[in-house]
Chains A and B, each alone.
Chain A
Amino acid sequence: MRKLLKCRVAIVIAAGWLVLSIVGYLGKDSIYKNYSIDVAKTPYFVLVLQGIHDHIYPWDPGLLASFQKPQDQIPETVLAQTLQEESETTETIATTEEKEAEESETAETITTEEEKETEESETTEAPKNPEKKETVVKKKRFVEVGMDYFSDALFIGDSRTVGLHDYGGIEGADFFATVGMSVYDLWTDRFCEVDGEDVTLEEALSAKQYKKIYFQLGINEMGRGTIDEFMEQYAWSVEKIKQLQPEAMIYVQGIMKVAKAKSDSDAIFNNEGIQARNERIVNLADGDRVFYIDVNEAVCDEDGALKKELTFDNLHLYGSEYGIWVDFLKSKGIEEVEEAE
């Protein structure tokens, strides 16, 4: 026995393993419910360690939430919570609806104003074709542009946009992008550098107005939440950007695909999943302020996968290949033209 007590490290490890595993087990349906581990291969204490990484500590009072079930107490709080949640969701829905209504109104006003303008111009200027009485409608279309197009642009994105910043050679534009960024963290993380200070995206977008905003997110979100949850958050983010940047056109960019080797071997990060998301993102385009562009047109092979000669890790372009993306963006400048109808 005395010999056993000399094995201090072994004893502490065994004790720590036991205690933290109990904590992990107790919390697996409450504070650690967002983590999933394969119990056949992984001990429960891993939950505790993963929690610590996300600042969820074992002394979190919620640890035992799923075990304290005296019948008269819990239902109330649970009910209250659900009620609160419900009312919140209804509220958001209501606000989005309102927003939509407002927008359609403004859109209408724009057209009426335009009509007025045309009328005015028709009356003031001598009409060349007096016989024709057509309305002129402003339409937007993609045209080839030069690098100066980006001088009043902003790029928002994840590691791929970081690469575009580092190797794209785009001058004058701002970049709010960081490794691992997702729509879920977009408005909470202080990842935007404005005047040497790290601020949130909302603060950054309030500080300066842009004419074009390029938005590419969506790969880090895979494996986290459903596609509907993702799209809800994505659409909400685009809407918020529209409000904060009333002058800007917003390019929602399709998520760049991964190379075939990655797509074939990964249950989560594969091209089917990316395609499904892109097919939803494209619906956000309205032809007026939001435009969908898809760099996959320029970087994919015939199978619709990222060409393997463009990437080492099957996910990111080589530094020397970002020119392809830049050239693609240059082919998607937006020009407003007047078309007779």
Chain B
Amino acid sequence: MVFSSFEFLFRFLPVFFTIYYITPKKWKNLVLFAASIAFYTVGEAEYVLLLLASVIVNYVLARGMYIRAEDGRGTRQLLCLLAALVYDFGILFYFKYSGRASRLPLGISFYTFQIAAYVIDVYKGVVPAEKSLIKLGTYLTMFPQLIAGPIINYSEVRLRISERKVMLQQFEDGLKLLSAGLASKVVIADRIGMLWNNIQGIGFASISTPLAWMGVYAYSIELYFDFLGYSLMAMGLGNMLGFDIPRNFAHPYMSKSVSEFWRRWHITLGRWFRTYVYIPLGGNRKGKARTFCNLLIVWALTALWHGAAANYLIWGASLLVLLTVEKLCLLRYLEKSRFFCHIYLLLVVPLTWIAFAVADVRQIGVYYTRLFPFFGESAIVNPLDYVRYLKDFVPLFLLGALGSTRYPAAFYRSVQKKWFGNLIVIVILGVSLYYLAISTNNPFLYFNF
């Protein structure tokens, strides 16, 4: 049940929120926990027990660390931590990297990181071990962010889990974020994604160079608005439930360097690696060689987190090279410049996405030879293929470009208290539902040439 479906928006949510709001405060967590499990079961009945096992195992091991008030950080605590981490990452490894599992359980990469952060924080004393299994389960499985993040730290929501007021104003604000997220997904991402689909359908060997460049930017926009949309919807749902879910994106395409880009893209994942890998390894405080080594480890892990396939390793390696070059020399020029930095970023980051998007490593090479056609053409290319697509997709490119800046959000903030601001939200939601309706009516949408 994806967020951008009528089934979720107009069947699951109304039923859930009705029950959730009339439930007395002390049972709200139980309702949310149960609803999250139901939500997960609809998507992945097969592995729902794996999710529950993760809650229970980590609950028990975290509780086992500091039993008495005077317990310090000793061997038993370390053993509990290691046991929890071995369990969590062992399961993740088995399903994601061993090649023995047929399918990846839904959301496992996200919830594993979230629960691992929890046990590490308990071990470090950042948060006390949660005494209530229901509360811990509510935190880990909360349906707004169960499948694709944001990865929330327990310290961020602990107080709200125990004590939260669900106010009408928050519901209203959440609804607005939910609408914005839905628009991002169905009005921009899904539609510009059709260009990328078409390019794959034609085959990379047969696309003209202008079309290849359009493809790079179409994919970059699709990926951003897809993930942004999901994250905004998660934040909105969080608000409606009475939580504050942290944001995952801060206009990353407006960054001045790749280093900055990755601080503003998938923020909660970057934060996880910084807190639990990069800084414990010494970060950048132990000399250039160690810094490079730490970066190498972080980016190898980041690439692996996305998948074990060769293309992700190429993608991670390309980012590592860029980050190293930036750290060594480029960064100081970039930060001084006003235009060059943006041109650089908007050229380099989309090019790295190719390795992210294309699973077949040979095809990545083919794509690059179409982007930079210095070696001629190996197959039949229709040199004017881009004309038609330009006509169809220019509005979406403009929308994507505008939506990547901070201006739409800034404009909205200036009018949000007025009726006009509300009208904007309603129109955006209406348009989104329209596109959602006609895409379900037309299953061929994605397959048309």
Query: Which A residues lie at the B interface, using CB under 8 A?
Result: 3-4, 6-10, 12-13, 16-17, 35, 40-43, 45-46, 49-50, 52-53, 159-160, 162-163, 166-167, 169, 179-180, 220, 311-313, 315-316, 318-323
Enumerate B351-383 residues with CB–CB distance to A below 8 Å: 379-382
If over half of A's interface residues share one DSSP class (helix, strand or loop), that class is named, otherwise mixed; here it is helix
A167 and B206 contact, CB distance less than 8 A:
yes
B200 and A7 contact, CB distance less than 8 A:
no
Q: Are A166 and B6 also in contact (CB < 8 A) when A12-B422, A313-B197 are? A: no
A53 and B425 contact, CB distance less than 8 A:
no
Which chain B residues lie closer than 8 Å to A166 at the CB level? 382, 385
A312 and B200 contact, CB distance less than 8 A:
yes
Distance between B208 CB and nearest chain A CB, rounded to angstroms = 10
Bound-state CA distance A8–B417 (Å) is 11
Interface size classification for chain B: 35 or more
Nearest opposing residue in chain B for A322, CB measure: B380
Q: B438 touches which one: A50, A163, A312 (CB < 8 A)?
A: A50
Query: Which B residues lie at the A interface, using CB under 8 A?
Result: 5-7, 10-11, 168-169, 171-172, 175-176, 179, 197, 200-203, 205-207, 379-382, 385, 419, 422, 425-426, 429-430, 433-434, 437-438, 440-441, 444, 446-449
Which chain A residues lie closer than 8 Å to B440 at the CB level? 42, 46
Which chain B residues lie closer than 8 Å to A162 at the CB level? 449
Distance between A92 CB and nearest chain B CB, rounded to angstroms = 29
Bound-state CA distance A53–B169 (Å) is 34
Which chain A residues lie closer than 8 Å to B7 at the CB level? 41-42
A49 and B434 contact, CB distance less than 8 A:
yes
A318 and B206 contact, CB distance less than 8 A:
yes
Bound-state CA distance A7–B207 (Å) is 50
If over half of B's interface residues share one DSSP class (helix, strand or loop), that class is named, otherwise mixed; here it is helix
Distance between B389 CB and nearest chain A CB, rounded to angstroms = 11
Nearest opposing residue in chain A for B206, CB measure: A319
Q: A7 touches which one: B5, B168, B203, B434 (CB < 8 A)?
A: B168
B11 and A41 contact, CB distance less than 8 A:
yes
A53 and B448 contact, CB distance less than 8 A:
no
Which chain B residues lie closer than 8 Å to A316 at the CB level? 201, 447, 449
Beyond A313-B201, A320-B379, 19 additional pairs, beta carbon < 8 A:
A3-B168, A7-B171, A8-B422, A9-B179, A9-B425, A9-B426, A10-B175, A41-B5, A41-B11, A43-B11, A50-B441, A53-B438, A167-B202, A179-B449, A180-B444, A313-B447, A319-B203, A320-B203, A320-B205
Bound-state CA distance A50–B422 (Å) is 25
Distance between A141 CB and nearest chain B CB, rounded to angstroms = 30
Distance between B188 CB and nearest chain A CB, rounded to angstroms = 18
Which chain B residues lie closer than 8 Å to A159 at the CB level? 448-449
Distance between B5 CB and nearest chain A CB, rounded to angstroms = 8
Which chain A residues lie closer than 8 Å to B425 at the CB level? 9
A53 and B437 contact, CB distance less than 8 A:
yes
Which chain B residues lie closer than 8 Å to A321 at the CB level? 203
Distance between B147 CB and nearest chain A CB, rounded to angstroms = 18
B168 and A49 contact, CB distance less than 8 A:
no
A53 and B434 contact, CB distance less than 8 A:
yes
Which chain A residues lie closer than 8 Å to B382 at the CB level? 166-167, 319
